Amino acid sequence: MPLTRETVLNTLKSVKDPNTGENIVASGMVRALQIGDGTIRFVMEIDASRMSEMEALKADAESRLSVLEGCGNVQIILTAHSETAAEAAKPSEPTPIKPRPAPPGSSGPQKVPGIDRIIAVASGKGGVGKSTVAANLACALAAEGRKVGLLDADVYGPSQPKMLGISGRPTSPDGQMILPLRNHGVTMISIGLMTSGDQAVVWRGPMLMGALQQMMGQVQWGALDVLIVDLPPGTGDVQMTLCQKFIVDGAIIVSTPQDVALLDARKGIDMFQQMQVPIIGMIENMSTHICSSCGHEEHVFGHGGVAAEAEKLGVPLLAEVPLHLNIRLAGDGGTPIAVQAPDAPEANVFRQLARTLVAESQA
Ligand SMILES: Nc1ncnc2c1ncn2[C@@H]1O[C@H](COP(=O)(O)OP(=O)(O)OP(=O)(O)O)[C@@H](O)[C@H]1O
């Protein structure tokens, strides 16, 4: 039986805060619940002064969820609201990084100094290859001579350090500016690099928003032609904050051809349209399977679903990326296919995409 939202919420209702006796769903502690491919992910908003009790609640939730039929993995992220929380959760960096005060009168979306354009790469559903597309697009744009930054804002599963083969941690010599890392011609920062190893993740500042603002405003990006933002799946706090606080020049929506992924992609498009972010277009990932031994093509997840949807919604179909073993191996190995074998047919799609975006002054 597939995992349902209802089953997960009902299970979480049996986890009770010992202080109040209230369950963690009723108290509003459970946020951004996502269920997909056997993985349950959510954020628990906590009072960091009660860290050890909250760790116990998290463990309780994990053990109850992990025995549910169809559950292969549980990922719970702790976040804290208060200043106390921020202090308690300070990551183990040599110098604590102070949040910079917002400039006066800066309520609407702002331009980030030095960054010409911001492109958000989004997906409605997890695991559709959004990070793979973001990494390859960033590298392909760099190969076209663009100055490219990549901000991995996927707080629920940051994967860019691995995809770009970056393992060091960012430093902050003055405690204010954060120095990003660089590989394959791409300047990168990941929320995954801002936390230490196995530690429970509790972001500094008010929830996830503080983290995003910090990465956007305090990272020394240098002059960039384009900053690609790899968003978490869905339409949660990170997406809203990005669009509310920063001028996002366009969004690219990645989807597989399957109906379920498309349905979620539509919600993503709706959100960007409501936030007045132009949709650059959609990308169909895992479009066609190309056998790495014989080159035979087959449509594992169907084919053309995204093209049809893009047409219906009146947005361009930017690319159809094949499902190819080499794309996964290259990503897992830290050298995206666009760098490892730029002339291979499965990489060419990214080169074409980069060229189109440059030609249309989108990137
Ligand atoms: N076109 C492709 N061909 C082969 N493997 C792919 C392709 N696209 C993605 N993958 C693989 O699928 C897995 C999920 O991809 P990725 O991490 O990019 O998805 P995502 O949408 O960013 O997921 P999440 O939202 O969970 O972070 C990875 O192992 C990746 O290498």
Residue 96: its pLDDT value, please?
A: 47
Residue 227: its pLDDT value, please?
A: 98
- Nearest-atom number in ligand 1 for the CA of 322 is 1
CATH for 115-359 is 3.40.50.300
Instruction: Name residues contacting ligand 1 (CB within 6 A).
Output: 123, 126-132, 154, 157, 159, 233, 285-286, 321, 323-324, 327-328, 331-332
Per-residue pLDDT of the chain (363 residues; tens, 9 = 90+): 678 988 999 999 999 998 889 999 888 788 767 787 788 887 777 776 787 788 889 999 999 999 999 998 888 877 654 333 333 333 333 334 554 555 555 567 888 889 999 999 999 888 889 999 999 999 999 999 999 999 998 776 678 999 999 987 788 777 778 889 999 999 999 876 765 544 445 444 355 677 787 788 888 898 999 999 999 888 877 888 899 889 999 999 999 887 766 788 888 898 898 889 999 999 999 887 777 677 777 766 667 788 888 988 889 999 999 988 999 999 999 999 999 999 998 999 999 999 999 999 999
Q: Which residues pair with 243 in a beta bridge?
A: none
Instruction: Pull the structure tokens for residue 69.
Output: 């039929």
Q: Is 13 annotated among the ligand-binding residues? A: no
Boundaries of CATH 3.30.300.130 in the chain? 5-88
Pairing between β-strand 30-36 and β-strand 317-323 as defined by DSSP bridges: unpaired
Residue 113: its pLDDT value, please?
A: 86
Instruction: Pull the structure tokens for residue 13.
Output: 């209702």
- DSSP-derived secondary structure letter, 301: T
| Burial of 99 from C-beta contacts in 10 A (0-12 / 13-18 / 19+) | middle
Instruction: Pull the structure tokens for residue 17.
Output: 């805060």
Tell me how far apart the alpha carbons of residues 312 and 100 are, in angstroms, rounded to a whole number. 43
149-167 CB burial, b ≥16 within 10 A, e <16: bbbbbbbbbbbbbbbbebe
Residue 93: its pLDDT value, please?
A: 39
Boundaries of CATH 3.40.50.300 in the chain? 115-359
Q: Is 131 annotated among the ligand-binding residues? A: yes
Residue nearest to atom 16 of ligand 1 (CA): 129
Residue nearest to atom 9 of ligand 1 (CA): 129
CA distances from 221 to 35, 133, 152, 317 (A): 34, 21, 13, 30
Cα 285 to ligand 1 centroid, rounded to whole Å: 9
Residue 48: its pLDDT value, please?
A: 65
Mutate to test the pocket of ligand 1, among 73, 191, 328 (most ligand atoms within 8 A of CB): 328
Tell me how far apart the alpha carbons of residues 141 and 137 are, in angstroms, rounded to a whole number. 6
Instruction: Pull the structure tokens for residue 5.
Output: 């939202």
Instruction: Pull the structure tokens for residue 266.
Output: 């539509």
Mutate to test the pocket of ligand 1, among 37, 73, 132, 287 (most ligand atoms within 8 A of CB): 132
Cα 129 to ligand 1 centroid, rounded to whole Å: 3
Architecture of the domain whose range is 5-88? 2-Layer Sandwich (3.30)
Residue nearest to atom 25 of ligand 1 (CA): 126
Cα 178 to ligand 1 centroid, rounded to whole Å: 28
Q: Which residues pair with 115 in a beta bridge?
A: 224
State ipTM.
0.97
Cα 137 to ligand 1 centroid, rounded to whole Å: 14
- Nearest-atom number in ligand 1 for the CA of 321 is 1
φ, ψ for residue 181, nearest 5 deg: -110, 170
> Greatest CA separation found in the chain?
62
Residue 157: its pLDDT value, please?
A: 67
275-292 CB burial, b ≥16 within 10 A, e <16: bebebbbbbbbbbbbbee
